[in-house]
Amino acid sequence: MTTSERYAQHVLPTYGRFSLVPVRGAGVRLWDDAGKCYLDFCMGIAVCSLGHCHPKLVAAVRHQAGELMHVSNLYQNPLQAELAQEINEHHVRIPGKVFFSNSGAEANDGLIKAARRFGLKRPQPDGSQRFEVITFLQSFHGRTLGALAATGQAKIQEGFDPLLPGFRHLPFNNIEALENSIRPETVAILLEPIQGEGGVNCATPEFLRAVAEVCRKHDLLLFFDEVQAGFGRCGDAMSWRRIAEEIEPDGISWAKGMGGGVPIGSFWLSDRAVSDDGTTLSSLLGVGSHGSTYGGNPLVCAASLAVLIEIRERDLAANSLRQESRIRETVRLWNLPVITEVRGQGLLLGIALNPELIPTPEGKTPALVVVNQLMERGLIVPPAGPNTFRLLPPLNVTDAEIDEALETIHAVLCEFH
């Protein structure tokens, strides 16, 4: 029985999978089951921030696996406390507190629960709870019933009615639509400062500042979904800081790159006071209000600590920033008509394609046609929407590796004109 036969017989068909079978990785290289070597600029969709099997991450996991993998959150876990401190002091740098989940969707669910508690603490004028969270079109917040309702893409929600109520999706980067949208029941705004899955769309500084101002004016919580963009990927510890550095959000969610490959997510809530008696936002999720059996166990916390310390000590955010400008400069010099735009920041970049120049067979998008040709030539990249592919190399990628990927991209895209 082949792997794809086993899949067909035993695994739910929820993913459209490429036929590639990766079996081994080291740094930016990935090998398939036939021994072919690839340059991996997908990195598990921005997950393996240090590349495949980074020696420090491998050592941390090996050590902790032989020491203690799991204890319940009924007990103290020094690695969890240390990881929260690392995140607060070195990456967020705003007083607040962290909860550990196992994925990005769960992290966003946590923010949604925090918003509802806040809406109880600070209700509508008539005393009823505020509950509505505003999110944006083309956003992606995950696949749990909560995160799914927050996601602003009809195709992801199709067939799952009734969705969790209490969400409204507004056009992204549209200040006018935002300012007229707040209702008495509105309690929070959740957004990706850089939309990843939706095609790599950056919030403009004006828009992000307008969102923060609307939140201040209407007593709404401001939540950033940094699941894909956070922890150095976008050229700063947090992606919003490169757009409007001065903004202080009330909540943040993460996952993907924070574990370097182990399943860990988290959300953060600010310590700011939310009532005259000094109650803080971070205290609204008190004992018994939220939990996760696996969340932040010793194994994943040891791994995530190794990743975040490496990102900080090597200043990998600075490498992201530098590689972004090298990529942008090279693509600009190519001057290829098939590339309409390079969007994004740091090493979360989207190369947008002119669909009219790319012949597509039935059922394939221009992005998929290009992604397949790149794979054929040994470069792995993920699509983002129908007309864009993403570059998501590890944060420690070298000049030579970037140049190699760019050469392959150039060779493939030269064919379309």
Ligand X SMILES: *Cc1c(COP(=O)(O)O)cnc(C)c1O
Q: Is the peptide bond preceding residue 298 cis, with omega within 30 degrees of 0?
A: no
- Is 382 an interacting residue with respect to ligand X (CB under 6 A)? no
Comparing CB distances to ligand X, the nearer of 105 and 379 is 105
Which amino acid is it at 13?
A: P
> What phi, psi does 289 have (nearest 5°)?
-85, -20
140 binds ligand X (CB under 6 A): yes
By CB under 6 A, name the one of 109, 192, 310, 401 that touches ligand X: 192
Residue facing ligand X at closest CB distance: 104
CA–CA dist 276, 56 (Å, integer): 46
Q: CB-wise, 140 or 267, nearer to ligand X?
A: 140
Residue 42 binds to ligand X (criterion: CB under 6 A): no
Sole binder of ligand X in the list 132, 197, 310, 324 (CB under 6 A)? 197
User: What is the secondary structure of 287-336 as a DSSP string?
Assistant: TTS---SSTT-HHHHHHHHHHHHHHHHTTHHHHHHHHHHHHHHHHHHH--
Answer for which of 44, 119, 142, 366 binds ligand X (CB under 6 A) is 142
How far is it, in rounded angstroms, from Cα 352 to Cα 354?
A: 7
| Rounded least distance, CB 134 to ligand X, Å | 16
Torsion over CA of 396, 398, 401 and 407, rounded to 10 degrees? Answer: 120
Asked if 227 is part of the footprint of ligand X (rule: CB under 6 A), the reply reads yes
Give least dist CB 392 to ligand X, A: 11
Q: Is 105 in the site for ligand X (CB under 6 A)?
A: yes
Q: Is 141 in the site for ligand X (CB under 6 A)?
A: yes
Q: Give min distance, CB of 345 to ligand X, in A.
A: 14
Q: Tell me the angle at which helices 316-334 and 399-413 cross, rounded to the nearest 10 degrees.
A: 30
Nearby residues of 325 by Cβ (< 8 Å), 6 or more positions away = none
Site for ligand X contains 190 (CB under 6 A): no
202 binds ligand X (CB under 6 A): no
Residue 228 binds ligand X, judged by CB under 6 A: yes
Q: Checking DSSP bridges between strand 132-136 and strand 186-191, what pairing results, if any?
A: parallel
Least Cα distance to 103 among 69, 139, 137, 141 occurs for 141
Of 161-169, 191-199, 327-335, 381-389, which part binds ligand X (CB under 6 A)?
A: 191-199
CA 381 from chain centre, in angstroms, equals 16
x/- binding map, residues 54-93, to ligand X, per CB under 6 A?
Answer: ----------------------------------------
- Least separation, in Å, of the C-beta of 153 and ligand X? 12
- CA distance from start to end of the chain: 43
Q: Minimal distance in Å, beta carbon 7 to ligand X? A: 20
- Continuous H helices in 39-190: 43-46, 55-67, 78-86, 104-121, 145-150, 154-157, 175-179
Span from 102-110, 174-182, 212-220, 349-357 in contact with ligand X (CB under 6 A)? 102-110
- For the chain, the residue count is 417
> Any idea which residue has 């550095």 for tokens?
245
Of 109, 225, 236, 310, which one interacts with ligand X (CB under 6 A)? 225
Q: Does 196 bind ligand X (CB under 6 A)?
A: yes
Q: Looking at beta carbons only, is 47 or 84 nearer to ligand X?
A: 47
- The window from 3-11, 134-142, 180-188, 358-366 that contacts ligand X (CB under 6 A) reads 134-142
Distance of CA 103 to the CA centre of its chain: 10
111 binding ligand X? (CB under 6 A): no
CB of 197 to ligand X, least distance (A): 5
Which amino acid type is present at position 43? M
Residues that bind ligand X (CB under 6 A): 103-105, 108, 140-142, 192, 196-197, 225, 227-228, 255-256, 265
